[in-house]
Structure 1
Amino acid sequence: MTLILKPGTEWNTVAARARALAPEAFDIDRFSNFIGGEWKAVGQPGEHVNPVDQAPIPGPPRIDHDAAVEAVADAVGQHREWAVVPLDERIARVSAALDGLRDSRDAIALLLMWEIGKPWKIACADIDRCVEGVEWYISNIERQMEGRRPLPGPVSNIASWNYPLSVLVHAELVQLLAGNAVIAKTPSQGGFHALTLAHAMMARAGLPVTLVSGVGSELGDALISSPDLGALAFVGGRSNGRAAAVTLANFGKRHILEQEGLNAWGVWDFSQWDDLAPLLRKGFEYAKQRCTAYPRYVVQRRLFPDFLQMYLSVIGNVRFGHPFAVEDAGDDLPDLEFGPVIQKTKASELRGQYNEAITMGGVPLYHGDLSKGKFLPGQDLAAYVAPACVLEPPRAWSLHHSEPFGPIDSIVLVDTEAEFIAAMNVSNGSLVSSVATDDAAFAARVREEVQSFKFGINRPRSRGDREEVFGGRGASWRGAFVGGDLLVDSVTDGDRALYGNFADGSRYPDTLDG
């Protein structure tokens, strides 16, 4: 059957809905930066195409370095006022912002779908996790702030594009609860319309937020190195994170730097394949474009036939395609694992990296076909990548030690426990890892050797375990640990020690380590 674009979800219709909800922030052909408590039509709007069908949409209005310096100065003034606002009032305003996010939830979700290609249910989950997570902090913040005080300056937030609400806005709202003004930079790749609408709801609640767009190299000095900032929260790649860490170390500045790592599922002495299959299928959510995705499998060689039978049934039935394509106008939006990747250049890069692995001697275990996806007739497929898998990836492969940030898996076969641990640790640290095993003693042994912060036994781990510490090991994390009480500690001062992964080697005690 020929698919159609679900009526009422066209980009122009969705954009008009955002303008109706926040006319102060959106014009017909551009949107504004929020600086000094005002929506300002400053900055040069850039060109942008959406990843769904490559059609143009308004790009972020990029400010220059001098404007960023002024924005930080305005935020510093807001911080002085906000830091002395009573906690009850901060709770009330953050709660009002959550009401605004709930009221605009569907509009934000539709923007996320067009901007960064999230399927409907995954886009809604991004917003819901933000709201539900902050609700938990609201119910705990009075206890968490005992003996704590806001930082001496605002918190600067630089985050990747993939989870604008559940990572970036969530962090900002907790920082605000703790008494800090906040600054956020919109990601260049996408999410800026959704973030603008979300910040309009935050601004209406009277929260001291700053939202700016711009090129990182131009704004970095102001948003990272300014001596007036209280802290930096960064989510991104290792190269940019490493540069930020060096700068922050020189300033002795508080920081939370979440960076990439190659997360792995290990399989050893295991038999419960029917239990593992749905976990692996869910792992393809959003094309594995997240910091806690599992793109590497380390499999005991003798189990490979059983693993392969299970794995091929999973990867061969992953649902992907145009996130707005339906059979009939009255149908719900499709329930997909993923839509496009973030850009057509990323899709081309992923296809090239798969071919590189095969050329170097890797085994093409599975190579998906876009014809299995659900698309509109004649639509542009430049940003879509079908799932694929490389068996025994060559060590010289560009992705042997790095995460693909896309739906390309790799499988490494091992025979000994020592090989297993080495393969799990191939990227010098990761945020999460898991083992599938029937042997509890084996799991306990390798848990001590695998260099990931969160470790799962017969289950995946995630960033969003609300009441648990989150951090990283090796090169995957620098700075203060976060999660639960430690998220509040990371953006406040007080008598309790600040724990984390810092240049001096200090870490959190093993008793609370992930």
Structure 2
Amino acid sequence: MSESITVAGVSVDTRHWIGGRRVASAGTFTDHSPIDGSAVGEIARGGPDEAEAAVGAARDAFPGWAATPRAERARILHAVADGVEKRTEELAIVETTDNGALLRSHRRGVMPRVAHNFRFFADWLLRLDHEDFETRGHTNHVSWDPAGPCVLITPWNAPLMLATWKVAPALAAGNTVVLKPAEWSPLTASLLADIAAEAGLPAGVLNVVQGYGSEIGDALTSHPDVRRISFTGSVPTARRIAASAAANLTPLSLELGGKSPLLVFADADLDLAVDLAVEQYDNAGQVCLAATRLLVEEPVVEEFTRRFTEKASALRQGDPRDEGTDIGPTIHPRQLEKIDGFVQRALAAGARAVIGGHRKDGQYYAPTLLTDVAQDSEIVQEEVFGPVLTLQTFTGEDEAVRLADDTRFGLAATVATGDRERAERVTARLVAGTVWVNCFFVRDLQAPFGGSRQSGVGREGGTWSFDFYCDLKNTVTAPEGWDQDHG
């Protein structure tokens, strides 16, 4: 196989990165661009042998990296961030080509967030502390000890940002990493390996392996030398990972998507509420946090729908490399089939498409709003992961909360209201890991992030990330009994 490909003028190595060197595989898989379906290149297709090599490299590198002083680990992570910033344009165009998200978003928001992930956790590491406390004169000292090799399995919808959301705290904590990016969008993970090496990250501390979950993923998640597994993706895959990790009791952090609601009360600023609703089409609806269920109080539903339809219909869908494009393609033909299947079954069951409801040319799906949907219907209960929203009505807070909480998920929720006390009452009753009031997608890395119910297990962000990626130790020291003549 060719060792590298050129993507929009950027050279990307298609081999694995294991133990500080590039490693080829006997087999490959083809990576396609969702923009036009063209083949981008052949990517090394790893299996059990590559998994064993990567975990072995991480295991061998762990003692040295774990013993590296905090300040030096932080310095190297800041150097990685510097490298990301220097290559922002390259990373942006490669990722847009690979996963179809808007180039303007990658330039202005996503890649700067990638660099911020490294800087934030590097800085948080230096302030990570727990005040000593006494128990009957004995001193308790809490410490965060590196856990060991970590396997990080990341999704395709925001490949580098979500990968570094895991990689940065894992490395900051003193762990070594095996990163397995999604096979539909593997390219920027390979570039990250180059950037990390150039920043001085020691060989074996970060390893990147590519391939299918059934071939390399199982070998990684069942490996007895792996001390942590973090996964973002679907519930069925999470169940498989959890079963694989169970034999070794490997701790898991799972972020599994959702079916989040947007509650619009009659006292809300309707222009704001409509803006929030239309924003859910971001990244062609391929966002785990998206509020895909619009719940609107009956007195304003007609006006809300009119304004929403007008604003959503003005969105421009097309090539994500164009500055004026608002919505790009779906990631893969299989995902397009899945989205359309959901919509067509809903229409056959009696739903009405206010807008959209159909495919467009290539891998593009029209922004869709479905109404006349039952609460227990598939389209309301299951995650579509595409530009498809549903609209339901409610009367009063009790019904709004009942509808909002009536799914097996609990990742996020958004509330639009002009009444502060109502916001406090409603948010207290919502089952969600994150609730936004009169805003959406405001994220601070020091806040806990994760889902309830089948939206996930655990929380990451700030100290919560270090709690997961470390073994917490409490050392209790007696006040007396020291040999005063020693030393």
Could you tell me the TM-score, scaled by structure 1's length?
0.84
Aligned partner of residue 36 in structure 2, secondary structure: coil
Residue 392 of structure 1, aligned match among 369, 372, 380: 372
> Shift of the alpha carbon at 1:111?
0.7
Provide the residue aligned with 1:193 in structure 2. 187
* Native 8 Å contact 1:131 1:170 kept in 2: no
Provide the residue aligned with 1:493 in structure 2. 471
Are 1:298 and 2:292 matched, yes or no? no
Residue 309 of structure 1, aligned match among 283, 306, 310: 306
Are 1:139 and 2:123 matched, yes or no? yes
Are 1:109 and 2:109 matched, yes or no? no
Percent identity for Structure 1 against Structure 2: 25
Q: Distance in 2 between matches of 1:171 and 1:295?
A: 26
Are 1:170 and 2:165 matched, yes or no? yes
Are 1:206 and 2:186 matched, yes or no? no
Q: Distance in 1 between matches of 2:373 and 2:331?
A: 25
Q: Distance in 1 between matches of 2:248 and 2:450?
A: 22
* Native 8 Å contact 1:263 1:294 kept in 2: yes
Q: Distance in 2 between matches of 1:35 and 1:15?
A: 26
Provide the residue aligned with 1:257 in structure 2. 254
CA shift digits 1:65-98 (9 cap, x unpaired): 1321222112111112211111122112112211
Provide the residue aligned with 1:6 in structure 2. none
Residue 14 of structure 1, aligned match among 7, 23, 31: 7
Q: Distance in 2 between matches of 1:17 and 1:239?
A: 35
Q: Distance in 1 between matches of 2:156 and 2:436?
A: 26
Provide the residue aligned with 1:467 in structure 2. 446
Q: Judging changes above 3 Å, is the alpha-carbon distance between structure 1 residues 264 and 396 closer, same or farther for their aligned structure 2 residues?
A: closer
> Shift of the alpha carbon at 1:243?
2.6
CA shift digits 1:312-346 (9 cap, x unpaired): 1221112220123xxxxxxxx41322210101222
Q: Distance in 1 between matches of 2:376 and 2:302?
A: 26
Q: Judging changes above 3 Å, is the alpha-carbon distance between structure 1 residues 145 and 57 closer, same or farther for their aligned structure 2 residues?
A: farther
* Native 8 Å contact 1:386 1:407 kept in 2: yes
Q: Distance in 1 between matches of 2:377 and 2:26?
A: 41
* Native 8 Å contact 1:119 1:335 kept in 2: no
Residue 353 of structure 2, aligned match among 364, 384, 404: 364
Are 1:151 and 2:137 matched, yes or no? no
> Shift of the alpha carbon at 1:461?
4.1
Q: Distance in 2 between matches of 1:122 and 1:148?
A: 39
Are 1:348 and 2:348 matched, yes or no? no
Provide the residue aligned with 1:285 in structure 2. 282
Aligned partner of residue 283 in structure 1, secondary structure: helix
Residue 438 of structure 1, aligned match among 400, 418, 429: 418
Are 1:36 and 2:16 matched, yes or no? no
Q: Judging changes above 3 Å, is the alpha-carbon distance between structure 1 residues 417 and 152 closer, same or farther for their aligned structure 2 residues?
A: closer
Aligned partner of residue 10 in structure 2, secondary structure: helix
Q: Distance in 1 between matches of 2:427 and 2:45?
A: 45
Provide the residue aligned with 1:403 in structure 2. 383
Q: Distance in 2 between matches of 1:290 and 1:127?
A: 17
CA shift digits 1:283-329 (9 cap, x unpaired): 322112111111111111222112112211221112220123xxxxx
* Native 8 Å contact 2:74 2:122 kept in 1: yes
Q: Distance in 2 between matches of 1:65 and 1:370?
A: 39
* Native 8 Å contact 2:343 2:357 kept in 1: no
Q: Judging changes above 3 Å, is the alpha-carbon distance between structure 1 residues 94 and 365 closer, same or farther for their aligned structure 2 residues?
A: same
* Native 8 Å contact 1:160 1:187 kept in 2: yes
Could you tell me the TM-score, scaled by structure 2's length?
0.88
> Shift of the alpha carbon at 1:402?
1.6
CA shift digits 1:393-429 (9 cap, x unpaired): 2356432212211111101112243332221123223
> Shift of the alpha carbon at 1:196?
0.6
> Shift of the alpha carbon at 1:358?
1.2
Residue 110 of structure 2, aligned match among 117, 126, 132: 126
> Shift of the alpha carbon at 1:495?
4.0
CA shift digits 1:160-181 (9 cap, x unpaired): 1111222112321221111111
Q: Distance in 1 between matches of 2:98 and 2:369?
A: 27
Higher mean Cα deviation, 154-163 or 393-402? 393-402
Corresponding letter in the other structure for 1:206: G
Q: Distance in 2 between matches of 1:369 and 1:477?
A: 31
Are 1:476 and 2:466 matched, yes or no? no
Q: Judging changes above 3 Å, is the alpha-carbon distance between structure 1 residues 434 and 239 closer, same or farther for their aligned structure 2 residues?
A: same
Higher mean Cα deviation, 245-254 or 125-134? 245-254
Q: Distance in 1 between matches of 2:98 and 2:123?
A: 33
Residue 57 of structure 1, aligned match among 40, 54, 71: 40
Provide the residue aligned with 2:63 in structure 1. 80
Q: Judging changes above 3 Å, is the alpha-carbon distance between structure 1 residues 320 and 76 closer, same or farther for their aligned structure 2 residues?
A: same
Q: Distance in 2 between matches of 1:137 and 1:78?
A: 20
CA shift digits 1:332-387 (9 cap, x unpaired): x413222101012222332232121111011222127778xxxxxxxxx3211110
Task: Give the superposed CA RMSD.
Answer: 2.2
Higher mean Cα deviation, 435-444 or 173-182? 435-444
Q: Distance in 2 between matches of 1:425 and 1:392?
A: 19
Provide the residue aligned with 1:238 in structure 2. 235
* Native 8 Å contact 2:261 2:413 kept in 1: yes
> Shift of the alpha carbon at 1:131?
0.8
Q: Which runs of 5+ in 2 are unaligned?
A: 131-141, 475-487
> Shift of the alpha carbon at 1:42?
2.5
